Amino acid sequence: RGRLTMGVRVAPLGGSHVLLLLDDRTQARRVEEIRRDFVANVSHELKTPVGGLALLAEAVEGAADDPEAVERFAQRMRVEATRLTRLVQEIVDLSRLQVADTLHEPVIVDVSEVAAEAVERSRLVADAKGIEIATALDEGVHVFGDRELLITAVSNLVGNAIAYSGNDTKVAVAVHDADHGIVEVAVTDQGQGIPEQEQQRIFERFYRVDPARSRATGGTGLGLAIVKHVCANHGGEVTVWSEEGRGSTFTMRLPAAPDSAADTHSSPNTE
């Protein structure tokens, strides 16, 4: 709508038919550019693990009479294959989110239950690094949306908090009703932090502050892009506060579902 209004202003001859057509073309070109970029990025990102697997397969063949080496290469093949599976899954998730700007069949979702589930899914990885996850999850905090997508988003934030923090640090996950009908989900870590000039770029697809480190931790560079789209599709946003060497807080802010909707499990429009 905004774009159309601008079109009307610059058109010298008026004629809404022509204007609509122009706007359509600009929009179509933009979508096409995004799609081309995405395909280029995806092929580049897929080449790394696929190339890695091919090299490892060769190495296995060459080491046929050294069982220990075969075991070592096989282990690395498993790691690459797992990463590839995750990458493909995230590419599918992200393209679905990008195609649909809105949610399919939104329902009332208990945000603290979502956060608890996300924490549970990260428990093993956290334990392996001696990281304690503290939670402060208020009851009765609801949004209108998609439970699985929200779990994915919070899991991505918790997973990053663990991946980019040292051993024996703490991660905190909090859910509460902020003012003005906004629900906040905040994930705080005591990790390496993010340089200020990088803080906006990290939400772009495949953008990483340190690509080598991200790969080493099994990162795909898509996690935060997915979080951003899940928040947008719920009518909200995600922001970051971070200080290098001290840690980061990622905050999702989503419109709260009205209380009555949560009580009756009906849509917010029916009260």
Pairing of strands 170-177, 132-137: parallel
Please identify, using beta-carbon distances, which residue of 181 and 195 lies nearer to ligand ADP.
Answer: 195
Out of 202, 238, 256, 261, point to the residue binding ligand ADP (CB under 6 A): 202
161 binds ligand ADP (CB under 6 A): yes
SS3 83: helix
Out of 189, 238, 257, 261, point to the residue binding ligand ADP (CB under 6 A): 189
SS3 234: coil
208 binds ligand ADP (CB under 6 A): yes
**How many residues belong to the site for ligand ADP (CB under 6 A)?**
23
Q: Which stretch binds ligand ADP (CB under 6 A): 15-23, 26-34, 205-213, 254-262?
A: 205-213
Out of 164, 173, 175, 185, point to the residue binding ligand ADP (CB under 6 A): 164
Please identify, using beta-carbon distances, which residue of 16 and 200 lies nearer to ligand ADP.
Answer: 200
Cβ within 8 Å of residue 238, ≥6 positions away: 153, 203, 224, 227, 228, 231, 250, 251, 252, 253
Using alpha carbons only, how large is the chain's radius of gyration in Å? 22
Q: Are 132 and 122 in contact (CB under 8 A)?
A: no
CB of 209 to ligand ADP, least distance (A): 3
Please identify, using beta-carbon distances, which residue of 112 and 220 lies nearer to ligand ADP.
Answer: 220
- DSSP letter for 257, please: P
Find, among 194, 252, 247, the residue nearest to 226 by Cα.
Answer: 252
Please identify, using beta-carbon distances, which residue of 140 and 195 lies nearer to ligand ADP.
Answer: 195
Tokens of 206: 């495949």
- DSSP letter for 175, please: E
Site map (CB under 6 A) of ligand ADP, residues 61-80, x = contact: --------------------
SS3 268: helix
CA distances from 146 to 30, 58, 136, 152, 241 (A): 28, 44, 22, 10, 26
94 binds ligand ADP (CB under 6 A): no
Helix (H), strand (E) at residue 25: helix 16-62
CB of 24 to ligand ADP, least distance (A): 32
160 binds ligand ADP (CB under 6 A): yes
Please identify, using beta-carbon distances, which residue of 7 and 247 lies nearer to ligand ADP.
Answer: 247
CB of 211 to ligand ADP, least distance (A): 7
Q: How many CB atoms lie within 10 A of CB 172?
A: 17
CB of 25 to ligand ADP, least distance (A): 32
Q: Are 209 and 198 in contact (CB under 8 A)?
A: yes
Out of 220, 236, 256, 262, point to the residue binding ligand ADP (CB under 6 A): 220
Q: Which residues contact ligand ADP (rule: CB under 6 A)? A: 156, 160-161, 164, 189, 191-194, 202, 207-210, 214, 219-225, 248
